[in-house]
Amino acid sequence: MNHKYSLASLYMLFMGLAVMMTAACKKNLPDDRLPLGADAVFTTFTYSPVLGRNTLFTNNFNSGQGSGLPLSFKIINLRKRDGSAAPELTENFPVSVWRKPYMGDEKSLEEIEAKRAIENHPLFEIREHSGQFLMWANSSSSFIKSRPDSGYVFDVEVSNSGGRRYFRDFKLIPYRERAYEPSNLDPITGQAQSVAVHPSFTQGLSGERTSSFIGPGDIDVYFKKINTSGKSLSFKFVDSLYKPIDPNKFSKTKWESLVHGFNMVKTNESVKYDVPYPIPAIAFPTIYTNPGGTQARAVFRYERQGFGNQLIQAAIGFDFNIYEKGDWEVTFRFTRESPKFTND
Amino acid sequence: MRYLIIVFSLLLLCGFNKEVFAQQKKVVIQGTVLDKADKVGIPGVNVQAGSPLTSVGVTNEKGEFSVSVAENSELFFKYIGYTTARRKADGKSKITVYLAEEQNALKETVIIGYQTKTKETSTGSSVVITAKMIQDVPVANLMELIQGKVPGLNVQNNNGSPGMRGSINLRGLSSINISESGGSAFLTPTSPLFVVDGVPIEDANNFDYGFQQGGPGISPLSLIPAEDVERIEILKDAQATSLYGSRGAYGVILVTTKRGNSKVPIIKYTSNYFMNAIPKLRDVIGGMDERRMRINQIMGNDTSYYHGIDMINRNPFLSDSLNAYYNNSTNWQSYFYRRTYNHSQNVDISGGDNTFNYKVNTGYYDEKGIVENTGLSRFSLNMNMQYQPSPKFRLFASIANALAKNSKGSGNSLLQGDAAKGGAQTSLLPAPSQYTAVNSVLSAMQTQNDNKTVKIAANVDLRYEFLKGLAASTNFSYTYNSGTEDNFIPAAINNNAGELYLYNDKQIALYSRSTLAYVLSLGEKHNFSANVFNELTTTTFKADAMLNRNTVNDYIHGPTMGYAYPFSPGGTLDNFSDRRSLAFAGAFSYNYMQKYVLDLTYRLDGTSTNGPDAGYSKNPSVGLRWNFNKEDFLSTISWLDFGSLRGSYGRNIVPTGTIYDVYGRYLSGARYNNNPTVNLDLRTVPNTALSPKTTTQLNFGFDFGVLQNKVNVTFDTYWKYVDNELKAKDLPNINSFEKISTNEISFMTRGYEIAVSFKPLPEKSKLNWTLMVNGDYRKEVLTRLPDGARQLMFKDVNTGQNILYRLGRNTLSNVLLNTNGIFSTNEDVPVDPMTGLRYRTGTGGDVTYFQAGDPRWTDLNGDYILDERDYVSVGNAQPAITGGINSSMIYKQFSLNFNLSFTMKRDILNNAVAERFQNFGRPNVPGSLVPLDRYKFWETSGDVAQYPNPYDFTRQRVIKPFRFDQTLFQEDGSYLKINDVTLGYTFDRQLTKRIGITGLRIYLTGRNLYTFTNYTGPNPESVDALGRDKSEGYPNSRSYTFGLNVQF
């Protein structure tokens, strides 16, 4: 062996080899990345929200077993069916969002409004990590294509640190708005198919002339929006000839929990509340809603003495939604005959 | 093995010198050889003289010698572990020679590939533990003593059951397979290969494929008394382990027992008396406090007053406080745990010289477990002898016998479920006497568990050198291991039907190795050695078990009669095996003046679980070493004692799986046309390409010693690739077969190891102090999964703590909900801006909204619903850093040693504390309540807390705030443990001589003294290999020892 080389150079050689091997060894190792598996799929490709309402599409994406969460979702290429751009859906609009939870125990309109705020959002969005689609209530058929138009097409990019995948040709075909439910409007054309809807249930009602049974089909309910600026809801009862019936005759009605409204004004012809819109405010069960919380439930009750001194507990119940702000008037009309309020 | 060197060097020296000497005048020289530090005589020192050096005598037990040599010749005093001293025979009749202990790490001998070398010429990475480093601490299992002494060896003594083994991992995990038992996950235990006096022993054999409950469960290592161990050597890299091939992939640990080396027989007696103390048990709320706590909790948190009253009235243990049955304050834990007094005795008789030497070591070890009804006693008798009538021929034979009796109580080798269950009872129930309110107490006390393990290992090693430098040797060993278990459950605790379980197993291993070795040295510069050998092992294992139900009574366990007969099964268990392996290997080694060293090995391994399409495994290795301090240009640097660079690459295997994974299995089926049928077993489809697991390692090392060996440093860095991990894979259900076993999992470990030893005090100081610090850092990366998948999930049904395998990550990640504090007020709960609904859990009509006092679990996907899509993969149960600090001080007659070990950067899932909180969710269930004062939990709105509100038990049902699968209970498991501290005193020889004792030493040892940790659970070490703190584990005891060494 010769000793021409210094220790340093040999040492450098050795360490250099070590460093090179380190680099080489690292190169062949997989990166710590979230995998994106082939079993991560959208389960729904056609979305048909009703305009004018907040609509959230859930359970539309299955992340499968082979993917690392969270995934990131992005709507891309949102376009009309003819391929032209659709700025009406991608540009920001001021929308009303909840900042604090609506609990159903708020004591004033202001308290409810304080829980909401205005934010700017595109009217059609995808939640960044869950893949849920949102359609905000400010959407309107006046500027958004809705059925019977074939609507919009878009693609979704799903990505995480492990890569990205594209899901193509999602269809967004909205229904035109229906301001209230139950609705007498055709969902596709928006044309009225009947003049009225009917209450959800009745109980113990009998006609004042014939004492015959009055069912929900014997009562028409008319929704009427008096103006778009107000925030009130009034209930009226009329007989078959449109003559008013005194709401006080529904004497056992729990007026304070009829709707979540304030400043009740009850006259011989109507009962009126200041209310927040939409009704119900959120899909959350409260004393003002049906048990599922999906619709407001207004129940008008009275009691009378029937034959044989039996107590008859009579009620009209109506489950409904109103999505648009305004001074709304809901009229119950007894189409055959009015109910009997007096004792037998 | 130490004689190998002497003989070897003798042989070499004899061979090279051909001069003939004339007769010279002889003189008789007498003297004493003393240890420089202890000033006591060293028996067995080889005195050599002449050219070539020949042995002229050996010192006696007092270190005295008397030799007759040629006048003016030089005497060499050689003793392993000491520097060789030279003296001129200058006519003085009495001389005193002082031998200093060898401190140069390079001169340490290592045994690599069944050959003895000095470290200077070995290219692999290995660590030697000498008997001195493991003395004075009585433990059943040797490996407990190695904790914290070897960088890269992660020993976690997580099983305090006497005779059982904790987890041992050399350079990271060797297996990442998780098996499932009773809904809980267990990491497949692996263990390095142990080679005891040249005989390989499989330690993990009985629990190789999961969680074995049958049999005594004693680790084979627990059958070796620590007093009989001369040295333990841990071979770490692929070069060092290359020749232990067919099972060396998990690392190799060589255990060498003592040998005789004194002409005058030496009798050493070691006696230890030790007390095992119970570790700190959890505090519990007792008696009236407990009842009040429960009642207040119900009344304060139930949904309504009347529901609360109803709940109390329905549970007499809450409402009936005047009933003597419910009016107690029982500390249940005290009935399961006990302080025990134990002892161990060992006598070692040895003697002989190079021609013939012998050793007999007999020992008795008795330890009662700190859990009632558990314990181990061991009797051992180990003998060996070596006969070397001429330098050409050598015969070594040894026989090791051990008998161990142990009791597992009502638990198994891993868990003590009854103690945990019974210990967690309400204090209101009466204490056990003849009657017990809690069945598991009786079960733990009265289950008669009686196990016996017998081991006999015989070994013969023959060596003959028929030409100069060319030697043939053969080694043959036979190991017999038998375990029996008798378990009787009395009728009173088993539905009035006594139950007897009988188990016996037998393992027979045969091992044979034949070697041809050649050594050549050219001009004392070029040194060659080469050897070839073949190796053959067969291992058979078979276990039988029998279950007798409805025994006659509790005293006659005899045959089951009558109706229970058909329900009493018996037969051979399905884990029988017959495994063989055959290997051919060759090694070549070259060094130039011990400066440049090259090692090459190649090995072919066939095992019975290699599929026929896989063939023999080919395992090469290469190693290089450069001792740069021998370069001329460095020879002038006086402060450098030695320095070297090492590098190695190599591959090893370990067979995995069973022969049925390779070839399938036939089963006897139903009768057809009154003829028996034979069917294919459709559970596993044969995989004829099955290969053994391989590990491939690259290792770089750097050793140096400076300042007259004041500082010695060894540094290693390695890349270890584990490939062909076996995993059973489910097949699509369109196939006839259900599963296939394949080798498709790979992972790698990257690590750094450093060991530093200091002698901080000057040579002349009266205090002799050696301080050793070692540590290692490692990082594991998963590199391959079956079918090219990038991730796999193992689902834990019991706890929900799933385990994720994901490429590029650490091998086993926990999958948990991320707990990001506690909701302080109701306003803190996030609201879905669109729907106005609060963050919630549950679906359909079963929705629960979060509120103040609930954990703030991260909503990973942002849908305001907590569900299975919100789990994050976090944490690593494998420690990143382990190591230890060992100190040894000698001052005059006194010695003080202590050993610390540490583990850092490890995540533990603290299920023990989670359970404590969960118990508060069931105020109407009689469990034990642990005071929660030390935890910061939410009580009223506005509290900023670490833990959710434990008292609101109605929430515990719906949102499970103390669920196991959350990061709230993932804690840092770092700890620093005082393994042991020993204070010893050696009596003056002059005093003890008068009573005929040549050496007398007494010592006091404390073991497991204290653990420094921030972990809030009971003990950060007593967690399983997946880092879960299960409360059923066997706690580690603290022990205090008084010991005595006497040498006659």
Decide if B382 contacts B399 (C-beta within 8 A): yes
C-alpha B65/C-alpha B45 separation (Å) is 9
pLDDT of the residue at B1006: 92
The model's confidence at residue A10, banded by pLDDT at 50, 70 and 90, is low
Whole-structure pTM value: 0.83
pLDDT of residue B7: 46
Q: What is the pLDDT of residue B207?
A: 43
Cβ contacts below 8 Å, chain A against chain B, sum to 127
Looking at this predicted complex, what is its ipTM?
0.87
Rounded distance between C-alpha atoms, residue B644 and residue B649, angstroms: 17
Nearest-Cα distance to chain B for A341, in Å, is: 38
Residues of B in contact with A2 (CB under 8 A): none
Q: How far is CA B199 from the centre of its chain?
A: 18
**Do B748 and A101 make contact, defined as CB atoms within 8 angstroms?**
no
For the stretch B54-76, pLDDT in tens is: 777 778 777 788 877 777 777 88
Q: Which residue has the higher pLDDT, B731 or B102?
A: B731
Amino acid B403: pLDDT: 93
Q: Spell out the domains of chain B, with CATH numbers in brackets.
A: 2-102 (2.60.40.1120), 143-274+338-792+999-1013+1020-1024+1028-1047 (2.40.170.20), 287-328 (no CATH), 800-877+907-974 (no CATH)
pLDDT, tens digit, for every residue of B418-448? 777 777 788 888 888 777 777 777 787 888 8
Domain ranges of chain A: 41-172, 184-334
CB atoms inside a 10 Å sphere around CB B1003 = 21
Checking if the pLDDT of A118 tops 80, the result is yes
Arithmetic mean of pLDDT, A68-74: 89
Residue A26, min C-alpha distance to chain B (Å): 10
**CB neighbour class for B1005 (10 Å; exposed up to 12, middle 13-18, buried from 19):** buried
C-beta pairs of A140-144 under 8 Å, 24+ apart in sequence: A140/A51, A140/A52, A140/A177, A141/A51, A141/A174, A141/A176, A141/A177, A141/A190, A143/A88, A144/A51, A144/A88, A144/A89, A144/A174
Mean pLDDT of B235-252: 82
The top-level CATH class assigned to A41-172 is mainly beta
pLDDT in tens, B327-375: 888 888 888 888 999 999 999 999 888 789 999 999 999 999 888 888 8
Q: How buried is residue A313: exposed, middle or buried, by Cβ count under 10 Å (0-12/13-18/19+)?
A: exposed
| Contact between B227 and B205 (Cβ < 8 Å) | no
Mean pLDDT of chain A: 87
CA distance A278 to A259: 12
The mean pLDDT of B371-389, rounded to a whole number, is 90
H helix or E strand, kind and range, residue B1010: strand B999-1013
- If you ran DSSP here, which 8-state letter would residue A175 be given? B
Q: In this predicted structure, what is the pLDDT of residue A1?
A: 40
Name the residue among B632, B717, B783 with its Cβ closest to that of A30: B783
Lowest mean pLDDT among A7-21, B300-314, B988-1002: A7-21
pLDDT in tens, B605-635: 888 888 888 888 899 999 999 888 888 777 7
| pLDDT of res. B51 | 65
Q: Looking at the predicted structure, is the pLDDT value of residue B715 above 80? A: yes
Question: Is A14 within 8 Å of B626 when comparing Cβ atoms?
Answer: yes
Distance CA B79, CA B99 (A): 8
Is-contact A221 A330, C-beta < 8 A?
yes
Partners of residue A331 on adjacent β-strands: A222, A236
In angstroms, the separation between the Cα of residue A24 and the nearest Cα of chain B is 11
pLDDT surpassing 90 at residue A120: yes
- Residue B643 pLDDT > 90: no
pLDDT in tens, B920-978: 888 888 888 888 888 889 888 888 889 999 888 888 888 889 999 999 999 999 999 99
Beta pairing class for B448-467 and B894-904: unpaired
Bigger pLDDT: B490 vs B90: B490
**CB proximity under 8 Å: B 754-773 to A:** none
**Whole-number Cα distances in Å, B986 to A37, B64, B569, B865, B975:** 69, 20, 59, 71, 34
Q: Quick check: B759 pLDDT over 80?
A: yes
pLDDT digits (tens, 9 = 90+) for B445-461: 888 888 898 999 999 99
Nearest 5°: the CA angle B351, B356, B360 is 40
In this structure, how many other beta carbons lie within 10 angstroms of the beta carbon of residue A302?
Answer: 19
- What's the token pair of residue B611? 């599929």
For B781, nearest residue in chain A (alpha carbons): A29
pLDDT at B563 over 80: no
**B632 reaches A (C-beta below 8 A):** yes
Query: Is it the case that residue B208 has pLDDT exceeding 70?
Result: no
Give the β-pairing of B684-685 and B739-758: parallel
How close A172 comes to chain B (CA, Å)? Answer: 19
- B789/A contact by beta carbon, under 8 A: yes
Q: What is the pLDDT of residue B611?
A: 84
Nearest Cα neighbor of B932 from B945, B916, B921 is: B916
Q: How confident is the model at residue B2 (pLDDT cuts 50, 70, 90)?
A: low
CB atoms within 10 A of CB B881: 16
Query: CA B69 to CA B54: how far, in whole Å?
Result: 11
Given a cut of 50, whether residue B476 has pLDDT beyond it is: yes
**Residue-level pLDDT at B251:** 87
Q: What does pLDDT average to over chain B?
A: 84
Give the number of other Cβ atoms within 10 Å of residue A159's Cβ: 15
The predicted structure's pLDDT at residue B87: 76
Three-state DSSP class for B912?
A: helix
Nearest to B416 by CA among B464, B380, B459, B449: B449
Residues of A in contact with B834 (CB under 8 A): 54, 56, 97-98, 134, 136
Q: Which of A329, A327, A323 is nearest to A176 (CA)?
A: A323
Residue B833 near chain A (CB below 8 Å) = yes
**Among A99, A161, A90, CA closest to A126:** A90
Cα B37 to chain centroid, rounded:
34
**pLDDT band at residue B204 using 50, 70 and 90 as cut-offs:** low
Tokens 């909701």 -> residue: B823
Residue B1 confidence (pLDDT) above 60: no
Q: Can you tell me the mean pLDDT for B985-1005?
A: 87
Question: How many angstroms away from the CA of A194 is the closest CA of chain B?
Answer: 31
DSSP-derived letter for residue B107 is G
Return the HEC string of B424-478: CECCCCCCCCCCCCCHHHHHHHHCEEEEEEEEEEEEEEEEEEEECCEEEEEEEEE
Asked if residue B690 lies in contact with residue B229, where contact means CB atoms within 8 angstroms, the answer is no
- Residues 182-241 (A) with a CB less than 8 A from some CB of B: none
pLDDT at A38: 84
User: Would you call B869 and A58 a contact, using CB atoms and an 8 Å cutoff?
Assistant: no
Asked if B539 and B508 touch (Cβ cutoff 8 Å), the reply is: yes
Tokens coding B321:
């406080």
Mean pLDDT on B975-993 = 89
Mean pLDDT check: name the lowest of B189-203, B397-411, B607-621.
B189-203
Percent of chain A topping pLDDT 90: 40
Write down the pLDDT at residue B182. Answer: 63
**What is the pLDDT, as a whole number, of residue A166?**
93
Q: Which A residues 56-115 touch B at CB under 8 Å? A: 56, 58, 63, 65-71, 97-102, 115
Going by C-beta distance under 8 Å and a sequence separation of 6 or more, which residues neighbour residue B518?
A: B469, B470, B471, B528, B529, B530, B531
CA distances from B696 to A17, B175, B453, B554, B881 (A): 18, 14, 36, 56, 22
Search chain B and give the residue with CA nearest A134.
B834
Give yes or no for residue B237 having a pLDDT over 90.
Answer: no
Query: In chain A, which residues have their Cβ closer than 8 Å to the Cβ of B823?
Result: none
What percent of chain B shows pLDDT beyond 70?
A: 92
Contact B809 A32 (CB under 8 A): yes
* Residue A5 predicted with pLDDT over 50: no
